[in-house]
Amino acid sequence: MAVKGGGKSLGRAPHPINTADFSSQVLTAKSSGAKVIAIANAGSDTQNVIKQAEEFGLMGGDQKMIALLLDVNDIRSVGLKSAQGLLVTSGFYWNMDDRTREFSKRYAAKMGKPPSMMQAGVYSSTLNYIKSVEATNGKDPAAVVKDLQGRTFDDAFLRNGKLRPDNLMVHDMYLAEVKKPAEVQDPYDVLKILATVKGEEAFSPLSASACPMVMANK
């Protein structure tokens, strides 16, 4: 049993990638007695875990489920009936505030739907890379990275963003909850933001980094 950050980890239940049967893992988590069960996978695996967790009575029960990597498209694929009440960690949500809505409106005009966290993140990283290329008047990787590390990022996706020496982008994250079907008017507006987690709290400190670029300077 590991104790860290004020909580106790009661165990883990790993699984093969792209499997269809999560019954063993779901039942292990259910019988653990854990107050919070974290889903630490992605894509179709996450979708299947949520569906099977509902089948085994975990969704909406005393144990709280949280998906560490889930976006709007995953929720729509699973369906609100299965995913309602699920906690989600996210770095972006299109309907969070005026800035995200303005960007998402422009995105939807071209793509037909609001951006997911992944899509907004790629847009932000590409745009900021281009800005640093222009600022350094070239494409020398070392010069561009140095410029990026000297910036503070604040756009529709990144809030209070800073690129650390280990090249980890630290920025604000959000705790959200999947809405109930009766709460949804827009089919893509499936989350409600519960809290903002500052970047320095959401990411491990630089002192804990095992990156060779950081270790060489210690």
Q: Which residue has tokens 């590390």? A: 149
Give the pLDDT confidence of 5-32 residue by residue, as tens digits.
778 888 899 999 998 899 999 999 999 9
Q: Is residue 211 part of a domain?
A: no
| Contacting residues for 193 by C-beta, under 8 A, at least 6 apart | 93, 96, 174, 175, 176
Q: Is residue 66 part of a domain?
A: yes
The CA-based angle 97-103-106, given to 5 degrees, is: 135
Please check whether residues 45 and 143 belong to one and the same domain. Answer: no
DSSP code of residue 110:
H
Please check whether residues 53 and 30 belong to one and the same domain. Answer: yes
Using a pLDDT cut of 70, give the percent of the chain over it: 97
Q: Please check the confidence at residue 75 and state whether its pLDDT lies above 80.
A: yes
Distances (CA, A) of 78 to 71, 72, 187: 11, 10, 13
Distances (CA, A) of 35 to 19, 31, 89: 25, 11, 17
Give the pLDDT confidence of 113-139 residue by residue, as tens digits.
999 999 999 999 999 999 999 999 988
pLDDT class of 217 with cuts at 50, 70, 90 = low
Please check whether residues 76 and 116 belong to one and the same domain. Answer: no
CA 100, 101, 103, 104 torsion: positive or negative? positive
Please check whether residues 76 and 177 belong to one and the same domain. Answer: yes
pLDDT for residue 168? 94
Beta bridge partners of 173: 197
Q: What CATH number did the domain enclosing 50 receive?
A: 3.40.50.2300
pLDDT for residue 209? 86
pLDDT for residue 213? 76
pLDDT for residue 7? 82
Cβ–Cβ under 8 Å, residues 68 and 40 = yes
pLDDT for residue 36? 93
DSSP code of residue 175:
E
Please check whether residues 21 and 85 belong to one and the same domain. Answer: yes
Please check whether residues 7 and 111 belong to one and the same domain. Answer: no
Distance CA 136, CA 144 (A): 6
Please check whether residues 18 and 86 belong to one and the same domain. Answer: yes
Q: Is residue 151 part of a domain?
A: yes
Q: Is residue 146 part of a domain?
A: yes
Please check whether residues 156 and 61 belong to one and the same domain. Answer: no
Please check whether residues 175 and 87 belong to one and the same domain. Answer: yes
Q: Please give the mean pLDDT across all residues of the chain.
A: 92
Establish how many alpha carbons lie within 13 A of residue 112's alpha carbon, considering only the half-sphere containing its beta carbon.
Answer: 0
Beta bridge partners of 88: 67, 176
Strands 64-67 and 36-39 turn out to be parallel
Distance CA 145, CA 181 (A): 44
**Domain count within the chain:** 2
Q: Is residue 45 part of a domain?
A: yes
Distance CA 108, CA 75 (A): 18
Please check whether residues 114 and 87 belong to one and the same domain. Answer: no
Per the structure, the complete domain to which residue 66 belongs is given by 2-93+171-202
pLDDT for residue 215? 72
Q: Please check the confidence at residue 146 and state whether its pLDDT lies above 90.
A: yes
pLDDT for residue 139? 83
